[in-house]
Structure 1
Amino acid sequence: MVNGEGEWKTREIPMVCHLKSSDFRNREIIVSCNGFLCITPIQGCGPVCLLNPITRERMMLPKSQLTLSPTLLIPGYCVGFGFDLLSNKYKVVRVYYENHQAYSDGEVRGFSEIITVGETTWRKLDSPEEFRKTRLLYGSYSNPVFLDGTLYWLTNNYSWLCSGKKVDILALDMDSEKFWSIEDCPSPRQFRNRRSLIIVDGSLAIIDYHSYYDYNPDSLCSMEIWLLKGSKTMGFSFNSTTYDMSGLLHPQNKWEDFFVIAKLDHDTFLLRMDLLEKNEYSIVLYSPERKQYSSVHESSNKIFQHCWMMPTLRSLKAAIDK
């Protein structure tokens, strides 16, 4: 760990999708499902590639039929990748936000489309009225989480105040392709921001903590995890656990922010630690209980900046064709 207790070795795996660098402009969104990756540019209706980085199999999805002006698209473009448990098919969802000057009310417009992998065309999703008129998603810092046949996004609930609803999480059932929402989640406590969704112990979890560059880095850093228990039909309950993250503030590392990628066991988190000034990051394992960390990987390539993936030797082609 931090005092040389143990050693980690990493190996880089090429992420070749036969995509032009101009398509991505060095910024990608990567989401995973069942060991497969979905890779796409961070904005626009650009190419989408599915990849198994272990077997090196890859597949390009058909082009989108949406006609949106690249100059009017704003940050917030988001991609979801999940599995329909009823049809046994993979599906990809894309959400766009357009700031169109022709809209007299000045509002941002949201568009969403979906494709069943193996089909030739994308389909427009029937989105809620509030979603079509309001930018909901935090953007690339919170790509949707897939769990038990459903995609979940964090929302910017301030945009819902005018309608009287406090929608915290937007969900999409992969089988019916219908949106629904989780409302009135507990608000972040003082000095914490709502940062992301992850899967913890097989349940959806909301992660709240402050970022180092927003606050005094010498102050105590704590993180709170809200575990969601329940269902769409029965409702949800929220149980919180607070973790002391101050052990990360070691004078020699000078990290400025962190992002929770996954919780691996009862007291081990996989984190991405950012050194913003040099545009570098480190992947570390951290134990809040022992206040110990071990560096797993250091790089200036943020291709896995928010993505947690369990590797698989399954054939991508066989999974798509079944």
Structure 2
Amino acid sequence: MATCNEFHQLIPDDVIIDILLRLPVKSLIRARAVCKNWYTIIKNTSFVAKHFNRHTNSGRLFVHRHDKISEKYVFSLYPDQTLAGSSPVYQDLVVDMPDKLWVGACNGILCLSYHSRRFALWNPATREYRSLPEVPRKFPPNVTSFQETFGFGLDPITNDYKLVRIWNTADFIRGKMHGPYKVAVYTLSTDSWRHLDVDLPYTWIDTPQTSTCINGVYYWSVSENFNHYLILSFDMSNELFHDILDIPSSKPSSIVPYNNSLALIYIKEDKGGVDIWVMREEGGWTKQLTVELIRYPFGFWKNGKIITKIDERRVVLYDPETHEIKYLGSPNWANCLVYRESLVAIGGGDGLLAHNQLSDVDLIFNFSKTVLSSS
């Protein structure tokens, strides 16, 4: 049997790379241990990017929900959109997890947030996780936060993951119910937080559950005095905020990606159904479609199909062109998102999760290090 070095002498490197690009992450992790040449290829940032963007790396459906009966948080990853009657790739239980967990995805990395106060990064494909350090608070005396939100995304210039955290503050002694916002940014490569000096003149910023990151820019719905709504963006590269002033209607129910463009979903409470508007250029909105059947959309799947609830008991995949409906199962989903596996290393984190188990909540969120109320 030929050794790895002899194998490289017999087959050109570009052929070897092409073969390795076709393998799933699990196989590539094993292949890294075969020889130094393969390890170097698989760890190369260019290879990691090509592997993530290959056409065979189609999205899988990542589902997370809190089971009130067992008091466990359930994570499930399904292989494709034909979920009815199919088994998940894995199902993971977190014991005694409160129903206050947010999960967001960006380029194969999941960001988990407990009460918007504790954060962890997780790569389900490589089983790596990292508990993020607490952000140093720089609030003046008597000032406290009463609303928090955040956004997780990728800086496309440096290929660095960032988490931006926003606090709305109040000084109750001085009677200031809406004080200045405080903003801090976490950068994965440095594993540290930095505070930004910004002026955000809003009375309210929406939660990450209804926000999204597209092409290195994070978007929230915001309001001025709860009577004028607009979109706030944050560029992960230059770390600047920007307003998109003109939106089609009042507050959208959610902001989602649509074919790599920004889309707003409006639920028509009076008539039922939803309107979906897409921004083709800065400030230029087009009503993409109106769907009468659906009520609580999670977002878009492949080829414009919508993952949605049509009522409180049925979650479906709906094709707005053919009106075809595929029932997806569980009526108790808290949320779901499209996940693509990645070789991206979280880097210098807390280690590996055995068999993708997230059962040690204290380990993941570092509850034992500090008191939660101080976060």
- State the TM-score, normalized to the length of structure 2: 0.62
SS, match of residue 65 in structure 1:
coil
Q: How does 1:185-200 map to 2 (within 5 A)?
A: 185-188=247-250, 194-200=252-258
Alpha-carbon contact 1:167-1:181 (below 8 Å) kept: no
Quickly say closer, same or farther: Cα 1:201–1:28, change in 2 above 3 A.
Answer: same
Contact 2:181/2:200, CA 8 A, preserved across alignment: no
Q: Distance in 2 between matches of 1:197 and 1:178?
A: 19
Unaligned runs of 5+ in 2: 1-81, 350-375
Who is 2:339 aligned against? 310
Distance across 1 between alignment mates of 2:284 and 2:321: 26
The alpha-carbon deviation at position 194 of structure 1 amounts to 1.7
Cα deviation code 1:88-142 (max 9, x no counterpart): 21111112233441242332553221111132431112222414xx22x222541
Alignment partners' CA distance in 2, 1:118 and 1:15 = 29
Q: What does residue 9 of structure 1 align with? A: 86
**1:40 CA displacement:** 1.0
Give the CA deviation at 1:199. 0.8
2:107·2:342 contact (CA, 8 Å) conserved in 1? no
The residue number in structure 2 matching 1:35 is 108
Give me the CA root mean square deviation: 3.2
Residues 129, 168 of structure 1: CA spacing in aligned structure 2 closer, same or farther, 3 A cutoff?
closer
The CA deviation at 1:67 is: 6.0
Alpha carbons of structure 1 residues 313 and 173: separation in structure 2 relative to 1, 3 Å: closer
- CA distance in 1 between partners of 2:310 and 2:93 (Å): 22
Deviation of the 1:184 alpha carbon = 1.6
Change in 2 beyond 3 A, CA 1:297/1:42: farther
**How far apart, in 2, do the equivalents of 1:103 and 1:10 lie?**
57
Aligned residue runs from structure 1 range 132-147, under 5 A: 134-135=203-204, 137-143=205-211, 145-147=212-214
- Cα distance change on mapping 1:73 and 1:186 into 2, 3 Å: same
TM-score (normalised: structure 1) = 0.71
Which residue matches 1:107? 178
Deviation at 1:318, TM superposition (A): 5.9
Aligned partner of 2:307 in structure 1 is 270
- Structure having the higher Rg: 2
> Within 1, Cα distance between the matches of 2:325 and 2:179?
42
Q: Give secondary structure in 1 for the equivalent of 2:330.
A: strand
Does structure 1 conserve the Cα–Cα contact (< 8 Å) formed by 2:253 and 2:266? yes
Structure 2 residue corresponding to 1:221, chosen from 258, 272, 283: 272
2:196 to 98, 114, 125: 125
User: Does the Cα contact within 8 Å between 2:245 and 2:283 map onto a contact in 1?
Assistant: no
Flag structure 1 segments of 5+ consecutive residues without an equivalent: 249-256, 276-280
* Count of paired positions: 265
After TM superposition, the runs of 4+ consecutive aligned structure 1 residues lying more than 6 A away are: none
Quote the Cα distance in structure 2 between the aligned partners of 1:290 and 1:317. 41
Q: RCO higher in 1 or 2 (8 Å CA, sep ≥ 6)?
A: 2
What residue is the counterpart of 2:289 in the other structure? Answer: 242
Match of 1:57 in 2: 128
- CA spacing shift, 1:102–1:142, aligned 2, 3 Å: farther
Q: Shift of the alpha carbon at 1:258?
A: 1.3
| Residue pair 1:58, 1:316 contacting (<8 A) in 2 also | no
| Cα distance change, pair 182–61 in 1 and its aligned pair in 2 (3 A) | same
| Distance apart, 1:236 and its partner CA | 2.9
* Aligned-residue offset at 1:289: 4.3
Indicate if the aligned counterparts of 1:57 and 1:315 stay in contact, CA closer than 8 A.
Answer: no
Q: Tell me the alpha carbon deviations over residues 131-180 of structure 1, each in whole angstroms, 9 at most, x when there is no partner.
A: 4xx22x2225413x111221111112444x7xxxx661111111111111
Deviation at residue 265 of structure 1 after TM alignment = 1.9
Distance 1:72 1:83, change over 3 A: same
| % identical aligned pairs | 21
